[in-house]
Chains A and B, each alone.
Chain A
């Protein structure tokens, strides 16, 4: 049997395992929207830990992050830096969201904000923002999976087919089982990708340079010290500015817990304790970025001039002498990283699209069964759209995704004020969000207009907070009865039903 066949066989076994697990997992929850979107609010620490971890570490973890370390050196430390503080707000905001979610029946972030700020328009704006961020995100995951299978099979499996097979599996289990499929498959995928990352991250420096410190000393001895000193290099190879590095860390940290597919996991947790413990344990998942970056550094001297840098991991795998069984396992681990984010995004995009985008625009109420049918329909439609962009379109997807990071950070002031600033009003929230997204987009498409070279998200946040506070103070506050559920969770009263 040729080597590529063994590798593909292992990837195939992995896909079959995930498919079986995902489809089987749905049997444990009720056939309702709560069951499909929020797993009946029953998730424990272990599953939640892997859902939060694996959803965040996408194919970027196995392709993009090592690519950053490989081409931009210390600049890649920013990925660890923002995660260090980025999850902390969720320790406080998550349990609050879970409590009001349980009391009022929310399953998405926008539903909660629309109720707190008494604004359907806000819900629709957030739904549009989420979908604009999610489709390119999902497209990149599909491209990543396809690229990996193509490289590793030496072209036998073309990119369109690899993406189709991997995401066909995702589509089937998300369609069938919703949240529970994501929970259980992400647990397996998370364990798998962590094992693979630690193995490669320790093995490659050892085999190529005789250890981790010798590897870094060799890079420094080659005159590439600038690469190992923070803040590393910019995309063009010149030293990155401290302003650029610091503001990128800041914006990413602020936006980190606000990603709608991550935030809505608060509604799946069994209890506040569960959610808090998950956040406490989260840094142990982050640690897996250390070996990931070591993989990238291992390629610096051994394989210079790999282009684009994102392909350094598949390149390393095909160049070093490794048994095909191991390469197959590594490949499956990288697929796991792509699919475990792709499934969460797909599920969130469809759930948000219906609950926050379509439902508020309809005048008649929708039955639970009808809602599930709609969400499933949107799962198929979203996959098809992302697949179209992944395979047939040449639109600059990466730029869209980079813009989305600054956009998602604009949700933070709204969520923070929802719980801690009773004076915040609906018109203020909507105006602030729009001002934030506007400023972010303006400085993204016209970077030459920036007064100082800071991340565009910083300008967005400044505009957002200024407009949010001003408009809130100028408009009539909401009824204290509505707000008390948000500011004082111990006095939570469910007597006012959520608009549903």
Chain B
């Protein structure tokens, strides 16, 4: 089959963000994900890169990374709860 030119949308199509019931939870989740990504690299991580204070025995630089792992676990869990059951 040869594909023909047709009314294919030009931009991104993200059904979840166009669905009013789904959109708020998804938007919050995306904000948390992007924040967590940025928190782990320059220019945010340098502010948390020190040895002190220790958290649960770990240097702050280490605990910061583990902390964001826990945050993402929570965020994914909440998103999953708001997700429709298929």
Measured CB to CB, the residues of A under 8 A from B are 74, 77, 80-81, 83-85, 88, 91-92, 118, 211-213, 216, 220, 225, 228-231, 242-243, 245-246, 249-250, 253, 271-273, 276-277, 279-280, 282-284, 286-287, 290, 293, 420-423, 476-480, 482-483, 487-488, 496
Contacts and interface: CB of A to CB of B under 8 A. Distances in A.
B5 to A, nearest CB: 5
A213 B54 contact: yes
Contacts of A92: 16
Interface string B63-86: 001101110110011011001011
Nearest to B71: A84
Given A81-B40, A286-B69, A277 B10 contact: no
Contact of A284 (B6, B36, B51, B73): B73
Contacts of B45: 230-231, 242, 246
A80 B41 contact: no
Of the candidates A77, A84, A92, the one having the most CB atoms from chain B within 10 angstroms of its own CB is A84
B85 A479 contact: no
B13 interface: yes
17 contacts: A74-B49, A81-B40, A85-B33, A85-B40, A88-B33, A216-B58, A228-B51, A229-B49, A229-B50, A242-B41, A242-B42, A277-B80, A290-B58, A420-B14, A421-B12, A423-B10, A476-B5
A276 B73 CA distance: 12
Contacts of B24: none
Question: A-B pairs with the 5 shortest C-beta distances?
Answer: A246-B41, A212-B57, A230-B49, A213-B57, A283-B73
Contacts of B58: 212-213, 216, 290
A91 B65 CA distance: 21
B41 A250 contact: yes
B85 A273 contact: yes
Given A84-B40, A245-B42, A249-B40, A287 B69 contact: yes
B3 interface: yes
B72 A477 contact: no
Interface in B15-56: 15-16, 33, 36-37, 40-42, 45-46, 48-51, 54
Contacts of B68: 81, 84
A272 B6 CA distance: 31
Contacts of B14: 420
A398 B70 CA distance: 31
A88 B76 contact: yes
Interface residues of B, number: 47
Grouping DSSP codes into helix (H, G, I), strand (E, B) and loop, the A interface class, with mixed when no group exceeds half, is helix
Contacts of A478: 3, 8
Contacts of B51: 216, 220, 225, 228-229
Given A242-B41, A420-B14, 7 more contacts: A230-B49, A245-B42, A421-B12, A421-B13, A477-B8, A479-B3, A496-B1
Nearest to A478: B3
Contact of B46 (A80, A242, A253, A276): A242
Contact of B65 (A80, A280, A422, A496): A80
B3 A283 contact: no
Given A84-B72, A283-B73, A276 B83 contact: yes
Contacts of A213: 54, 57-58
Given A88-B76, A284-B73, A422 B9 contact: yes
A230 B76 CA distance: 26
Nearest to B4: A479
Contacts of B65: 77, 80-81, 84
A476 B6 CA distance: 9
A249 B12 contact: no
A77 B15 contact: no
Given A246-B41, A273-B86, A420 B13 contact: yes
A77 B77 CA distance: 24
Nearest to A287: B69
B57 A229 contact: no
A60 to B, nearest CB: 18
A483 B3 CA distance: 11
A301 to B, nearest CB: 15
B5 A477 contact: yes
Given A280-B77, A283-B69, A479-B1, A231 B49 contact: yes
Contacts of B9: 422-423
Contacts of A83: 69
A104 B70 CA distance: 37
Contact of B8 (A228, A282, A480): A480
A420 B12 contact: yes
A80 B86 contact: no
Contacts of A249: 40-41
A127 to B, nearest CB: 23
Nearest to A229: B49
A482 B3 contact: yes
Contacts of B79: 91, 280
Contacts of A496: 1
A442 to B, nearest CB: 24
Contacts of B83: 276
